[in-house]
Amino acid sequence: MILLTIIMTFSFMSWISSRSQSKLPGPIVTDSLAVQKRVLSYLNQQKWNELFPHRYGIQSANSKNGLSDFYSFDAFLNAVKFFPEFLDVKDKVLQKRELAAFLANMAYETGGGWPDSPDGYFKWGLHFVEEQGCTKGCPQYTDTSKKDWMPVVDKSYHGRGPLQLSWNYNYGQFSQFFYGNKDSLLLHPEIVAENSLVSFASALWFWMHAQKPKPSCHAIMAGSWKPNGYDSVRNILPGFGAVVNIINGGIECGTGKPDGTYSRVGYYQYFCNYFKVSTGTDSSCMEQKPFNSIN
């Protein structure tokens, strides 16, 4: 434990130094080491390599601008320090489920596998940094009705990072949280695909941040969210299915069809098996209406 504390303290001080040099934003949270300890109770470098052996940049074939191991374990561990409530629940089962759910969605959003992939389909998470087909821009991810987060001309707000942060209003809100101003990422959304710490932080921000009428993904997996009347008429129940509904309910939910092996739910089952925990109830959203549906 003493050695672990020394290593974590050195890592934290190194992060502070690099944060200062690169002028990264935001206050240093005082209980950041607590969330890091929670993560380290389930993950380490070896397990990260086991789970994501084909992650972006670890092989020269998919590295970008000379960046190696873009989705490194160290980058993830540094990013969680901005989110001290991540995995902050006493029940170890709920901790494991939240971690499994978070990793599952990262892997699904960035997966590069196919049914006969070397090492298996689920080993190809974190393979991509940017939404495929959008590396030269995708103008459809702009919403000018969001007056507080207006898009910038000739900037693309397509999916980037572990949870594929998309749309100008999400870039603007995350920028406000991370940099203390909305313009840093509205003007330079490409940073999410260029800076590992920012990239992981974007995913954690989306996970931890509620956007009405949707709760946060964290609240669902931590067991603190209770459906209200609005949710109940849409058959949205606590469980991984509600997380899927938050992230991409308009496309993936309400189909009435069982989830396939290679679905988002399939990833969740895979990671739950890895952490030796049950999936819990209501993992599918096939009978749920999207959160923002009219009826």
Q: One of 50, 85, 98, 109 is an active-site residue; which one?
A: 109
Token pair, residue 121, equals 């389909």
Q: What would the two tokens of residue 229 be?
A: 């009347």
CA–CA separation, 284 and 278 (whole Å): 14
- SS3 readout for the chain: CHHHHHHHHHHHHHHHHHHHHCCCCCCCCCCHHHHHHHHHCCCCHHHHHHHCCCCCCCCHHHCECCECCCCCHHHHHHHHHHCCCCCCCCCHHHHHHHHHHHHHHHHHHHCCCCCCCCCCHHHHCCCCCECCCCCCCCHHHCCCCCHHHCCCCCCCCCCECCCCECCHHHHHHHHHHHHCCCHHHHHCHHHHHCCHHHHHHHHHHHHHCCECCECCHHHHHHCCCCCCHHHHCCCCCCCHHHHHHHHHHHHHCCCCCCCCCCCHHHHHHHHHHHCCCCCCCCCCCCCCCCCCCCC
Rounded to whole angstroms, the maximal C-alpha distance in the chain is: 56
| Catalytic residue status for 130 | no
CB atoms within 10 A of CB 240: 29
- What are the catalytic residues? 109
